[in-house]
Structures are given as structure tokens and as C-alpha cells.
Amino acid sequence: MTQTAVTLGYIGLGNMGAPMATRLLDWPGGLTVCDTRPEALEPFTAAGATAAATPAAVAERASVISVTVLDDAQVRDVVTGADGILSTAAPGTVVAVHSTISDTTAVELATLCAGAGIHLIDAPISGGAPGAQQGRLAVMIGGPEEAFQTVREPFARFAELVVHAGGVGAGTRMKLARNLLHFISFTAATEAQRLAEAAGIDIRALGKVVRHTDAITGGAGAIMLRDTTAPVAESDGWFSILGHVRNLGEKDLSLALDLGDRLDVDLPLAAIALERLGAGLGVGPGTIADTTTKERA
């Protein structure tokens, strides 16, 4: 399908939706926007977009509709409400839900939409407001290949990475796994800050070091290169690589725990990490983990 044949709609022009929709303003097929706040629409209509009063009115004009609203209830209303997308959308329309909702909600709504010949895909985003402003988001799409191919080109306007995660619901499941890592990492960061503060370290300077080196190494994502979490055979080339990571990690974690003991700072995440790092990497615990865990028991 050509760019001019695809007409775009965007519902929800908040902190994420507005910068994403802005990058669609020059789409050759045109852009229709909808938001409950008139002031949110004004910059878009001034730039040439068409304003619609309801999601149903968007669906009358658009063949690909992005939805970025607050939660499951709002998504349901936008899709199935009295003035919702389903009331007017033509068969073949693709509805992309960028909001992070339950994967079961995505599957349920996709089933309802399929009865009308409409593709609803879950397409959550990662990268936050800075990524939206810079057009550098990642979009994780759950839906059929046909729908994925339809949205790849327009979504590339606001995303550097557009991934087909699998069937409907898979995009949300990928986003939840990604954010699990994100917020556990934040919790670990608070633990590291407490240790650094107790040791008399400037935690703002520590933050600079973390951001600098994560940009080089890739952070936690640097180990996410295998296609399975199964144990690694010693004959596998990954064994020596991940074994090296384990050995370094166990050494540094044990040293951090020792420092925490001396400074009377409780480091529960560090203790869990030391105990589970090797097994999580698929290479089993090293000698440091075995020794330190027994000593701390």
C-alpha cells in the first residue's frame, strides 16, 4: 500500500501522543487528530491536520489509527464506546494501541475488532518523553504480519526501532518484560546510591559514570543476545563469554557486599544478585558465589 493510500489518525495528544503525532503531520495521506482538550488540537490544525470530535469521526477518515490514552478503560471506550472506532471503521482499518494496557485486554479487543474485519494491534512504546520528542522510540507490535507491514513506514517517523513481537498481546508482553528490567534496575540504583552515600561518594558523580558507561556497554541489554535462557553447555562458545561475565560480577558484588557490611548498609538486591547471577546467565554459580553465600548464611 502506498503512503498516499494510508491515511493516519491519532487519538490522545498528551505528553507522549503529541510529539509522536507531530512527526506524522507531513504524512502524504494526511493526518486526523482527536483529543478531549481543544487546546491540544490547535497546534495540529494550525499545521494542516484535520480535527475530529470523536474516535468514530477519526475512523471515518483514517485507515491506520494510533491510540495513546491513559489506561484499559479509556482504550475500551475509544474502541468500543458509543462514539468509538468500531462504530464507523471500514474493514481493513488498523488500530494501534500505544498505551500500555493488559495483554488480555488487547487480545479481547482484537477479537471484537476482527469480527468487523478490523485489525487491532498492541503497539506499546519505550523511550519515554525524550524518545518521543527526538523520534527515537522503540515500538513493540503484537499482531498479524499484514498489519505490521502496514504500520512500519508511518511508525518509523517517530520510532528508530519497530519490532514485530508476535501475535496480538505479544507487544504488551515484551513491553512488560522490558519495564520489569527498567524498574528493578531503578531499585538497584537506589541501593547503589545508599552504598555510595554511606561511603562518602558524590552520588551525582556516580550517576554520570553510570550513564556514561551504560551508553558504551549497553547496560543490562548487553547480555540479552541468546535466543534461550536454557543452561549453556560448556562446549558452547557462549559459556566462556558468560562465565567471564559471571566471574567479574560475582567478584564485584562480593566486594560491594563487604563494603556494605563495613558501613552497615543493607544490600538485599546485591545479595540476591550474587546468589543468582551465574544461574541466570546459564553457566551456574562460580566459586565466589558459593563461598560468599555460605559465609553470609
pLDDT per position as a tens digit, 144-193 = 999 999 999 999 999 999 999 999 999 999 999 999 999 999 999 999 99
Domain that holds residue 70: 8-173
Residues contacting 28, CB < 8 A, separation 6+: 3, 4
Residue at 249 is within a domain? yes
Same domain, 113 and 42: yes
Res. 112: pLDDT tops 60: yes
Residue at 214 is within a domain? no
Same domain, 150 and 42: yes
Res. 294: pLDDT tops 70: no
pLDDT at 14: 95
pLDDT at 289: 76
pLDDT at 290: 65
Same domain, 98 and 160: yes
Residue at 2 is within a domain? no
Same domain, 109 and 254: no
Residue at 124 is within a domain? yes
Res. 22: pLDDT tops 80: yes
Residue at 93 is within a domain? yes
**Among candidate residues 159, 163, 164, 151, the one with its CA nearest the CA of residue 7:** 151
pTM of the model: 0.89
Same domain, 235 and 148: no
Same domain, 15 and 142: yes
Burial group, residue 164, by CB count within 10 angstroms (0-12, 13-18, 19+): buried
251 is known as an active-site residue: no
Per the DSSP assignment, residues forming a β-bridge with 8 are 31, 64
The active-site residue out of 175, 208, 251, 294 is 175
Residue at 182 is within a domain? no
Q: Of 112, 147, 173, which residue sits at a domain end?
A: 173
In percent, how much of the chain has pLDDT > 70?
Answer: 96
Residue at 184 is within a domain? no
Same domain, 51 and 124: yes
CB atoms under 10 Å from CB of 12, counted, come to 25
- Indicate the number of domains in the chain: 2
Q: What is the CATH number of the domain that holds 26?
A: 3.40.50.720
- Grid cell of 289 as nine digits: 558465589
Res. 4: pLDDT tops 70: no
Residues contacting 60, CB < 8 A, separation 6+: 52, 88
Same domain, 250 and 165: no
212-245 pLDDT, tens per residue?
999 999 999 999 999 999 999 999 999 999 999 9
Per the DSSP assignment, residues forming a β-bridge with 120 are 95
Same domain, 16 and 136: yes
- pLDDT band at residue 288, thresholds of 50, 70 and 90? confident
Residue at 269 is within a domain? yes
In the chain, count H helices and then E strands. 12, 9
* Average pLDDT value over all residues in the chain: 95
Q: Of 112, 145, 173, which residue sits at a domain end?
A: 173
Same domain, 22 and 82: yes
Q: What is the CATH number of the domain that holds 267?
A: 1.10.1040.10
Same domain, 32 and 111: yes
Same domain, 155 and 22: yes
Q: How many residues does this entry show for the chain?
A: 297
pLDDT at 297: 60
